[in-house]
Amino acid sequence: MEYSVTLIPGDGVGPEVTRSARMCVDAIARKHKFSVRWDEQLAGQTANEKFGNVIPEKTLRSAKKNRIIMKGPITTPVGVGFRSVNVELRQRLDLFANVRPARIFPGVESRYSDVNLVVVRENTEDLYAGIEFDIGGKDTEELIGFIKRKQGKSIREDSAIAIKPISKFGSKRIVEFAFDYAEHNKRRKVTAVHKANIMKFADGLFLKTAQEVAKEHPAVEFEDRIVDNMCMQLVTKPEQYDVLVCPNLYGDIVSDLCSGIVGGLGVAPSADIGREYAMFEPVHGSAPTHAGKDEVNPTATILSAVMMLDHIGEHKAAKDLEGAVLEVIREKKKVTYDLMPKKPVGTMEMSEEIIRKIDG
Ligand code: NAD
């Protein structure tokens, strides 16, 4: 059996961590007698320099043909420049569910024990819709006038405005995904995260929809939390939570918080799932200060590859690869600096150790 996967190495530390994941997948595939054909494609600044487009048509074509994408992080200029390639890819491929597991592995230093939760983040709407009005623009002025006329509310004329669309369709789809995930993975509880006390329409719709969907899944416990309280609860008693379902922005923030709880971004994988396509990438970004130094942790990307193997139905290979990663972390002899070993090794050396475990 041969699988075709579009590989987008990204930039910053992306090429290093995706190389590790690719090597590990090839090793586990050899062992389980299948193979992966990697179709390497560019996106982000590197693509812009070569093709004048941050998401070249060629990249999108490959992703749509192969349906499975392994991606490294891609730098987004802050405040200026092009919009997030990551967000655009998720929107263009309608990868509506971002699944971010956060689990404490033996060997990883954490203030907590016994945390095993999953953040399911809506990926296509909310403040990430990319609908913004810049300070001083003609459209901004018209919008400010419209809001004054329709709602009697004044917005300062030197404002920039971002629009937060939350739809019933998008909310229902993500909450149903979270309940299906809970049922398939034998999880006991879904918690909906919102700020419906303040945003009564947008977050109110998300919450109301979640409550309706919950009624169709009586076997899974349901509750909701206001996002600020949710953060406090996660920091004080994370072991009480199981599956968290969040609109886009809260999901992004809460999942980084969960990564911190379980030992940092170096061990936090993710999957972006849609009806037709699926993309697998670490939660962390391009960590530019570490780029090219062979020092960051490849675990987040390798565990994202584990999620990919599960997704394509190679469950045994997924389990074995995860086992090899966890063994290396538990031994703590050949791990990167962030896992605080006595003597850290580089990205490649840790990856080679994982492959040694696979090859047994
Ligand atoms: P970041 O996740 O890149 O790095 C923050 C810090 O986390 C690093 O300085 C490092 O200390 C630690 N870290 C990250 N990955 C690690 C790893 N594998 N091993 C060990 N430590 C690790 O966050 P940032 O600096 O805020 O973002 C840098 C760029 O990445 C920005 O342009 C941002 O937009 C982009 N970004 C991209 C994605 C994506 O491609 N999906 C996600 C988040 C951020």
Verify whether ligand 1 is closer than 6 Å to residue 8 (CB atom).
no
Domain residues for the domain of 71 are 1-97+269-360
Confidence of residue 83 (pLDDT cuts 50, 70, 90): confident
What is the pLDDT, as a whole number, of residue 110?
86
Is there a single domain that holds both residue 293 and residue 353? yes
Is there a single domain that holds both residue 115 and residue 147? no
Helix and strand numbers, DSSP H then E, in the chain = 12, 12
**Three-class secondary structure of residue 259 per DSSP:** helix
Is there a single domain that holds both residue 188 and residue 235? yes
| Best mutation site among 18, 283, 284, 339 for ligand 1 pocket (most ligand atoms within 8 Å of CB) | 284
What is the pLDDT, as a whole number, of residue 144?
98
Confirm if 42 and 56 have CB atoms less than 8 A apart. yes
Question: Is 187 among the domain residues?
Answer: yes
Verify whether ligand 1 is closer than 6 Å to residue 281 (CB atom).
yes
What is the pLDDT, as a whole number, of residue 118?
98
Give Rg (Cα) of the chain.
Answer: 21
* 143 or 52, higher pLDDT: 143
Confirm if 90 and 71 have CB atoms less than 8 A apart. no
Question: Is 105 among the domain residues?
Answer: no
Burial of 203 (0-12, 13-18, 19+ CB in 10 A): buried
Q: How far is CA 331 from CA 47, 238, 326, 335, 358, in A?
A: 39, 25, 9, 9, 15
* 282-328 pLDDT tens trace: 999 999 999 999 999 999 999 999 999 999 999 999 999 999 999 99
Whether 195 is a known active-site residue: answer yes
What is the pLDDT, as a whole number, of residue 215?
98
User: What is the domain count for the chain?
Assistant: 3
* 176-219 pLDDT tens trace: 999 999 999 999 999 999 999 999 999 999 999 999 999 999 99
* 232-284 pLDDT tens trace: 999 999 999 999 999 999 999 999 999 999 988 999 999 999 999 999 999 99
Amino acid at 85: V
Task: Say how many Å lie between the first and final Cα of the chain, rounded.
Answer: 23
Is there a single domain that holds both residue 306 and residue 221? no
Q: What is the CATH number of the domain that holds 217?
A: 3.40.50
Q: What is the CATH number of the domain that holds 311?
A: 3.40.718.10
Is there a single domain that holds both residue 117 and residue 198? yes
What angle (nearest 5°) sits at the alpha carbon of residue 265, between those of residues 259 and 266? Answer: 130
Verify whether ligand 1 is closer than 6 Å to residue 73 (CB atom).
yes
What is the pLDDT, as a whole number, of residue 284?
94
Is there a single domain that holds both residue 216 and residue 356? no
Whether 294 is a known active-site residue: answer no
**Three-class secondary structure of residue 104 per DSSP:** coil
pTM of this prediction exceeds 0.85: yes
Catalytic residue among 11, 181, 195, 357: 195
